[in-house]
Amino acid sequence: MNKLKIEIFFSLILMLFSCVWGVLFLCLVLNNCCYIISWEIFNSMNLFVELDILFDWVSCSFGMMVCLISSSVSIFSVSYMKGDMNSKRFMLVLMLFVMSMNFLIFIPSFVSLILGWDGLGLVSFCLVIYYQNNKSLSAGMLTVLMNRVGDCFILAGISIMALLGHWNYLCIWYFWFFDVCMIFVVVAGMTKSAQIPFSSWLPAAMAAPTPVSALVHSSTLVTAGVFLLIRFYYCLIEVEYFCMFMVFISIMTTFMSGVCAVYEYDMKKVIALSTLSQLGVMMMSLSMKMPMLALFHLYTHAMFKALLFLCGGNIIHCYNGVQDIRDIKGVWYSLPFTSVVFNISNMALCGFPFLAGFYSKDLIMEMLLVSNMNLFMGLFGMFGVCLTMLYSMRMSMWMMWGDVKSMVYENMSDDDEYVMCSMIMLCFGALFGGFMLQSLVMNFNEVIVLPVMYKLLVVLLLFFSLLFSLSIWSESFGKVYYGIVYWCNSKMWFLSFLSSNPFLIVMKGSTNMSLKLVDLGWLEIMGGQGLLMFLKKVMSLMEYWMIVLFNIYVIVIIFILIFL
């Protein structure tokens, strides 16, 4: 009972904070105002360090979303982590993760922001290696090393912003090395949001427990990079070629993740690649100069993606840890409630009309149609978004509507009150969250004038993708998965080899060389071991000459006595 109390206690605290941030969000968005609390820590000449806390509708709404999803994940953890011996430690680290994200959201200072930014990377390493095995350790090392790249660029941006005499990114003006500082911010956001070529760590982080995955992929770690670029957006558009660069990166990320998800059989990795695809859509919205639509899609995506992970986690828990979709059949028969909620979240991910994902994705796709993007990149973007329906329906067809497995597991239960409560909380967000946010926030509305055919094109593409996914679901289509195409796409276009392996090989070679040349070489000779050998030789030489001189002295004394 003691183990159950801590999850419920943290869930109630997070729900309370979510309500507080929600009330503040409504007050700020209705009054169109914001508040900044500033605490000056010290002032030295023309450089002063202060701690700022920003309360505007963006930070309060994002904080409300993070606390709401974290509360649902905490309730779900009661059932999922029931048999774990260290569940109390797990919840404490999870709350540290949520606290780091809130630091990142509410602090507008570049120096203080590193508390949340670096805290997310370090705590995510602790959560990824929670299951202590070689696979988790490899995934944790890949995650933390890739995130350290972004941390280094943030630190470099802090050092450059020292030229301004302050680090508040709400008050940045053009200065020397302004473009370099913004490039550092862009690269840091790309690493944290796993854009190409930094995408390999996102599926690897699936080694963490499913509640962690639900939190990481919905509203915390991977969305931190998008949120940072939204905050710096009005500075980034001053940099030449920023939009051209980001539109290429985002569309390639969306396309690559969609194609790789079609060739993936691990359920959690399919959901992780769908997160990567939606992050590409958010970055695409940013590159088309629509930061508020990117934020809108971030909010809607957070609700249905957390729900999707909770449903997937319950299925994995009930099937005794099986994650291969080829081995999970007949979920509709054994877990009817989870099956219904899973399909709702899947439809919201695909952008089914009048669900949460439809309101944001439809606006972004319509803005893609009216933008002055070239035809080639526009088609790639549309095709990458349509692939969402393909791999989502593929996963549902394998798991939900396949043949019922003859094996019956002991914990095959769909009536756990904690699981149902957490899913129902997020299910309302997946059903009505998009409509409510679009009704409350005027910045989430765009007036787009398009011909009727273009207006219906997004819905037509949705149903075309549905029909196409139904047509390819056959046993004969499985032959396509083999060969070089399957090998390339199952390895995420070899990004893991190209991004992590060369780095690890170079680091291993350099450390071995430094070990032999420095640690076992010059430091041995010039350091303690060398000094010890030198002293031994000096002492042995002194001992030798002392014996020789003593013998000579004795001989001389004997001769003197003889002569006397």
- Give the pLDDT confidence score for residue 4 in this predicted structure: 53
Same domain, 450 and 554: no
Q: Residue 52 forms beta bridges with which residues?
A: 38
- What does the block give as tokens for 290? 């629509």
Same domain, 398 and 534: no
Give the SS3 label for residue 166: coil
Give the SS3 label for residue 53: strand
- What does the block give as tokens for 315? 């299925």
- Under-50 pLDDT residues of the chain: 1-3, 406, 474-482
Give the SS3 label for residue 193: coil
**pTM of the model as a whole:** 0.81
Total count of domains within the chain: 2
Kindly report whether the peptide bond that precedes residue 197 is cis, defined as omega within 30 degrees of 0. yes
Same domain, 466 and 540: no
CA angle 260–495–213, rounded 5-degree value = 65
**Residue 289 covered by a domain:** yes
Same domain, 468 and 537: no
Type of residue found at 544:
Y
Please give the residue range of the domain that contains residue 526: 521-563
Cβ pair 260, 231 in contact under 8 A: no
Separation of alpha carbons 175 and 172, rounded Å: 9
Separation of alpha carbons 488 and 477, rounded Å: 18
| Cα R_g (the chain), whole angstroms | 30
Type of residue found at 185:
V
Among 446, 476, 506, where does a domain finish? 476
Same domain, 426 and 543: no
Separation of alpha carbons 214 and 207, rounded Å: 12
Same domain, 464 and 554: no
Same domain, 419 and 534: no
Q: Exposure of 125 by Cβ count < 10 A (0-12 exposed, 13-18 middle, 19+ buried)?
A: buried
Cβ pair 209, 80 in contact under 8 A: yes
Separation of alpha carbons 170 and 46, rounded Å: 19
Alpha helices in 263-400 (DSSP H): 267-287, 291-318, 331-334, 336-350, 356-370, 375-399
Taking only the tens place, the pLDDT of each residue in 58-114 is: 899 999 999 999 998 888 888 888 777 777 888 888 888 888 888 888 888 888 788
Same domain, 408 and 530: no
**Residue 260 covered by a domain:** yes
Of 557, 541, 404, 397, the residue nearest 471 (C-alpha):
397
Among 476, 501, 529, where does a domain finish? 476
Looking up tokens 């890739």 gives 146
**Residue 125 covered by a domain:** no
DSSP conformation class of 35: E
Distances (CA, A) of 410 to 330, 401, 438: 16, 22, 44
Pairing of strands 35-44, 47-55: antiparallel
Among 455, 476, 497, where does a domain finish? 476
- Give the pLDDT confidence score for residue 482 in this predicted structure: 47
Separation of alpha carbons 51 and 103, rounded Å: 11
For residues 127-154, one letter each, b for 16 or more C-beta atoms within 10 angstroms of the residue's C-beta and e for the rest, the string is bbbbeeeeebebbbbbbbbbbebbbebb
Same domain, 437 and 528: no
Same domain, 276 and 388: yes
Same domain, 469 and 538: no
**Residue 537 covered by a domain:** yes
- Give the pLDDT confidence score for residue 402 in this predicted structure: 60
**Residue 358 covered by a domain:** yes
Cβ pair 283, 294 in contact under 8 A: yes
Cβ pair 495, 200 in contact under 8 A: yes
CA angle 341–346–348, rounded 5-degree value = 95
**Residue 483 covered by a domain:** no
**Residue 56 covered by a domain:** no
Same domain, 413 and 532: no
**Residue 308 covered by a domain:** yes
